Homo-oligomer: A and B are copies of this chain.
Amino acid sequence: MTGLHDTTGDGSGPTVVSIDAMGGDRGPAAVVAGISLAADKSPNLRFLLHGPAEELERLVAKRKDLAGRCEIRDAAGIVTMEDKPAQVMRNGKNTSMWSAIDSVRAGEATVCVSCGNTGALMALSMVRLRKLPGVNRPAIAVLWPSRSASGFNVMLDVGADIRADAHDLLQYALMGTSYARNGMGIAHPRVGLLNVGTEEHKGRAELKEAHDLIGAQAEEASFTFVGFVEGGDLPGDVADVIVTDGFTGNVALKTGEGTASLIGDLLKEAFAYSLLSRLASILALSSLKRLRKRIDPRRVNGGVFLGLNGTVVKSHGAADATGVAAAVRLAEQLALSGFSDKLAARVASTAPQAHDAPPDDAENGKTP
């Protein structure tokens, strides 16, 4: 690898992030604009940029702030939003997505960012990066705008798998804790288990079992277990990490997005209703912008695949430069904190087959 040297974790050199430049709805121009925005704020940030070399070289050349900070890896193929995961796994070797993930596999970067097809990205990540020892089901975690001090809660799984047994839910709790600690700087996260009531006798059998498993790990893994939480706590201030199966998590995520989008549209309608309300909307412009910034999905733009040998950040397909920049900054934060290694250590230390091994304390207390 020329020009870039990944010394992530020891704090002495650049932080390298692997970027899939293709597959987003807005094409590579938005991706390059996004990494340029992120680069402006972080002088140590470097990029491995995957896609058609000629096109990318032209786009990067226009951005002075990217000079000497991007290494382009030629990949002619593009995974489209319509491609089936199985198809991409068979025939996708020449794609930018495959290439971007393989940079993590090869150890050139610890984190990869893509705006592409979620199903294909998850499938490729699974086969190329493989599951971490001790992890049965990897998970996708998202940030949820909330009343918590950090402004966000972590929810997982939001759709990597539609099933999760009690032990999977324990793994999610550990992975989510690690993510909150390293990605969001919350030293001692509060973990909640999503259910239909907060009483201990309620809910499905696997949830009662998971309740006990997670509670038993709280002290060793340095989190506070707040027990069962409800849907209303997702945007609340009760837990920083909310654990659920991928079916429920996916429905909740899309319900929340849909609700926010409906309210946003109704708000616009309300302000367009009369001359007076239009005047009001002009006066309220900066207030409404502040609100939008607070719950802007572009800013909570990193769905993160957890439980693999390396971390993959899925940015929204429709992400613009601001959205890509947010995903890249999250990736940088995770790379800087040595997240991938710490997560692996945490999961291994509590895996059933390693249950008698001494706990690895590498992760605890070392918050960014």
A residues with CB within 8 A of B: 145-147, 159, 162-163, 194, 196, 203-204, 230-236, 244, 246-248, 250-263, 265-267, 269-271, 273-274, 276-277, 279-284, 286-288, 290-291, 294-295
- Residue ID in chain B nearest A252 by CB atoms: B255
Nearest chain B CB to A109 CB, angstrom units: 30
Q: Which residues of B contact A295 (CB under 8 A)?
A: 262-263, 266
- Of A230, A232, A274, most B-chain CB atoms within 10 Å: A232
Known: A196-B246, A262-B147, A295-B263. A230 touches B251 (CB 8 A): yes
Nearest chain B CB to A221 CB, angstrom units: 25
CB contact between A258 and one of B236, B261, B266, B283 (< 8 Å): that residue = B236
Q: Are B247 and A232 in contact (CB under 8 A)?
A: no
Q: Which residues of B contact A247 (CB under 8 A)?
A: 196, 203-204, 248
Known: A232-B258, A259-B259. 11 other contacts (CB 8 A): A203-B247, A233-B258, A235-B258, A236-B258, A236-B262, A244-B251, A255-B259, A259-B260, A263-B263, A269-B291, A277-B287
Nearest chain B CB to A252 CB, angstrom units: 5
Q: Which residues of B contact A234 (CB under 8 A)?
A: 255, 258-259
CB contact between A232 and one of B203, B255, B284 (< 8 Å): that residue = B255
Q: Which residues of B contact A236 (CB under 8 A)?
A: 258, 262
Q: Report the bound CA distance from A199 to B94 in whole Å.
A: 27
Nearest chain B CB to A334 CB, angstrom units: 26
Q: Are B291 and A286 in contact (CB under 8 A)?
A: no
Nearest chain B CB to A263 CB, angstrom units: 5
Known: A259-B260, A262-B235, A279-B283. A267 touches B252 (CB 8 A): no
Q: Which residues of B contact A279 (CB under 8 A)?
A: 283
Q: Report the bound CA distance from A291 to B248 in whole Å.
A: 29
Q: Report the bound CA distance from A250 to B291 in whole Å.
A: 28
Known: A232-B257, A255-B255, A281-B284. A267 touches B250 (CB 8 A): no
Q: Are A267 and B291 in contact (CB under 8 A)?
A: yes
Q: Report the bound CA distance from A230 to B196 in whole Å.
A: 19
Q: Report the bound CA distance from A161 to B7 in whole Å.
A: 53
Nearest chain B CB to A92 CB, angstrom units: 20
Q: Which residues of B contact A283 (CB under 8 A)?
A: 276-277, 279-280, 283
Q: Are B273 and A290 in contact (CB under 8 A)?
A: yes
Q: Are A287 and B262 in contact (CB under 8 A)?
A: no
- Of A231, A261, A291, most B-chain CB atoms within 10 Å: A231
Q: Report the bound CA distance from A234 to B284 in whole Å.
A: 30
Q: Are B273 and A280 in contact (CB under 8 A)?
A: no
- Of A163, A247, A276, most B-chain CB atoms within 10 Å: A247
Nearest chain B CB to A277 CB, angstrom units: 4
Q: Report the bound CA distance from A270 to B266 in whole Å.
A: 17
Nearest chain B CB to A164 CB, angstrom units: 12
Q: Are A254 and B271 in contact (CB under 8 A)?
A: no
Q: Which residues of B contact A250 (CB under 8 A)?
A: 196, 230-231
Q: Which residues of B contact A255 (CB under 8 A)?
A: 231-232, 234-235, 252, 255-256, 259
